Structure 1
């Protein structure tokens, strides 16, 4: 599958975002990238929260690839919601 972006743990492809083969299989279709989750103070994007809960995840690498995926797939996202979602994911990762 052709890739559009890659870092040490993630790659953006024409169909979505995926973890590279040296970590557990995670594939997020482009259509699912902006899925939301209700949290105590409102809505956040699901994937930064979900991925942060995995001990094997390099969260800064995920955040970088997630932003690249949104850009490459030309998804209309809310900048404030993205920032809060990434920050919350990083907080959750730090708490592990």
Structure 2
């Protein structure tokens, strides 16, 4: 990672660089040439999640940890406030690792794992019967 000050002429306009991403005053650029304009960094989707963590999760060539690092530096450098929706945006978009493999191996989007289901009445008791576990009992004694 290279981090340059705003007035550092030795970096040639580069504010930050890691193995994949370069940050300049114009925006964030991947080594493939993929470019995110500075003014677009704070874009949101309908559900108010940050657009870029979700969008970049769709790119097989994007290394999530390097994008996250560069994106967060860009927000800080350009004075874009982080909010409560930023962490969920990364979690839903980029996901979690299932195991110790590389990014392509064992990488599962959180949205693929977490799908809320309605709980049917008595479901806990039925599950306990199948698994042999006891359900909690409330004692009438005080």
**Do the structures match in fold with TM over 0.5?**
yes
Structure 1: 5+ residue runs without aligned partners?
none
- Which of the pair has more CA radius of gyration? 2
Provide the residue aligned with 2:72 in structure 1: 67
Contact 1:9 / 1:61 at 8 angstroms: preserved in 2? yes
Between the aligned partners of 2:93 and 2:20, the Cα distance in structure 1 is: 17
Between the aligned partners of 1:83 and 1:12, the Cα distance in structure 2 is: 21
Between the aligned partners of 1:33 and 1:68, the Cα distance in structure 2 is: 11
Between the aligned partners of 2:13 and 2:52, the Cα distance in structure 1 is: 22
Q: What does 1:29-68 align with in structure 2 at a 5 Å threshold?
A: 29-38=37-46, 42-68=47-73
Tell me the TM-score normalized by structure 1: 0.82
Q: Tell me the secondary structure at the aligned position of residue 68 of structure 1.
A: helix
Displacement over 4 Å in runs of 4+: none
Tell me the TM-score normalized by structure 2: 0.57
Is 1:76 aligned to 2:76, yes or no? no
Contact 1:34 / 1:77 at 8 angstroms: preserved in 2? no
- Aligned residues between the structures: 89
